[in-house]
Chains A and B, each alone.
Chain A
Amino acid sequence: MSNTELTERYLSAIKLWLPRKQQTDILAEIAEDLHAQTEDRESALGRPLTADEMVELLKQRGSPLRVASGYLPDQRLINPAMVPMYRMVLKIVLLWVLLPLFVILYLGPILASRNPGLALLDFWAHAWQSLFFTIGIVTAVFWLIDRYHSMSVDRWDPRKLPRVPRSQQQMQWYNDFAGFAFGMATAIFWGAIMWHRSAFVTPALHVVLLPIWGQIFWLMLVLVTARSLVNLYCFVRPTWSAARSWVRLALDGIDIVVPLVLLRVTNWVEIPAVGKLTVADAAKLVSLLNWGMQITLVSILVFTAVDVFQQGRLLWRAKSIHSAPMLTMS
């Protein structure tokens, strides 16, 4: 291939990426520079450049796309100053909305399904679809904000900035107390209401509890009470220790295993058709109550998984800094 052909190909490849209105002008200037550079080299060597030397010279100048990119206007999808906000919104939407929603909607059916593989495949396909759709929507919203300047990062007032949140320790302290109070209330409620109970009977409705309730009675009571007492201990002694995280992780482990096993149960109650209640209505009510149980169990799994993550992170941080003299989170 001749040097002229190499040069023409190079210029033609650059032309492809250049703004249409300026193509001729820019290409003429690049061609002239290339010509002058070739002449300089040839006069230094005292002979015409070989094809290999010409290839080397063109390579040194950079790929056609790189050369053309220098002439293109600065283009961006999102204002760089908005990127931290974009990432935060994306993280919130994906981790705190999409993920829990998917777990709640799919975990129950996957575990209860006769063909979990197929249900998992269905979940996987929908998860990816939703992931790309969500990222696309969030990106498009930020692009529109940038495009129409509807939100400027420079329009701000120090007086309108959000209040400084309470310290992490104080927040956690309240959380521990709330955990203790809620746990004790739940344990008392569970113990009082469910003790030796086999049905809830009202004039209009008979809800018969299946034997599974009796089988889990003590387990639930012990678990709720233990978690409540751990929260009380954290409230009284707010300083973090590795042992505390390990205890919480052990409880989390039980809290994960129990709902996973219980999700295999498909029927929790029976409602006989009494009074004005028809068989169809009773079946609907049973289905609704069973679905409610599934949602509750999956929610417990999600909240427990969040605690596992938090405790794991605390342990990992403590390990990475070797000695954690005053880690204040519980």
Chain B
Amino acid sequence: MHTNTANSELFENLRLELRRGCLSVAVLLQLRTELYGYAIRKALGEQGLAIDENTLYPLLRRLETQGLLVSQWREEEKRNKRFYRLSSAGEQVLASLLAEWRQMNGALERIQTVSGKIAEEQQNEQHRID
């Protein structure tokens, strides 16, 4: 029981670490088209990457401060909303980030395949010895 709880906490921490970098890329990707905050949340959620408001809005603000996003307040459906879109600097950084992500993804795939084969060979060897 205790081990299960510890494992699930451990998993949750690792999951959050894994998600942190991916969320920035996902938001930058999503903002290739202009959207306001709540619409970004909905769009990401519909595509399987739910993000809560306490993560999204500070992230948007940080990305804007870093010059990767631009924003403006505009009235839509009789309400003032802040619309965000990717800046030209953001487009360049996004391209580099995507290249990095593909490279990392490819490396992970290769590591999984190779280490899987080695583990299988070691198991077979062990069986032969036994």
Contacts and interface: CB of A to CB of B under 8 A. Distances in A.
Interface of A: 26, 28-30, 32-33, 35-37, 61-62, 66-67, 70-71
Contact of B55 (A26, A36, A70): A70
Given A67-B54, A70-B58, 10 more contacts: A28-B80, A30-B57, A32-B38, A32-B79, A32-B82, A33-B41, A33-B53, A35-B79, A62-B54, A70-B57
A66 B82 contact: no
A307 to B, nearest CB: 37
> Taking chain B's interface residues, is the majority helix, strand, or loop, or is none over half, making it mixed?
helix
B55 A32 contact: no
A28 B58 CA distance: 14
Q: Which 6 A-B pairs have the closest CB atoms?
A: A70-B58, A36-B38, A33-B38, A70-B54, A33-B37, A71-B58
Contacts of B53: 30, 33, 37, 61
Contacts of B37: 29, 32-33
Contact of A32 (B52, B54, B58, B80): B80
Nearest to B58: A70
B61 interface: yes
B81 interface: yes
Interface residues of B, number: 16
A35 B52 CA distance: 15
21 contacts: A26-B57, A26-B61, A28-B73, A28-B80, A30-B53, A32-B36, A32-B37, A32-B80, A32-B82, A33-B37, A33-B38, A33-B53, A33-B57, A35-B79, A36-B38, A37-B53, A61-B52, A67-B54, A70-B54, A70-B58, A71-B58
A37 B38 CA distance: 8
Contacts of A30: 53, 57
Listed residue (A29, A66, A67) with the most chain B CB atoms within 10 angstroms of its CB = A29
B23 to A, nearest CB: 13
Contacts of A29: 37, 57, 82
B70 to A, nearest CB: 15
Contacts of A33: 37-38, 41, 53, 57
A224 B79 CA distance: 89
B54 A66 contact: yes
Nearest to A36: B38
A74 to B, nearest CB: 10
A29 B61 CA distance: 11
B81 A32 contact: yes
A68 to B, nearest CB: 10
Contacts of A71: 57-58, 61
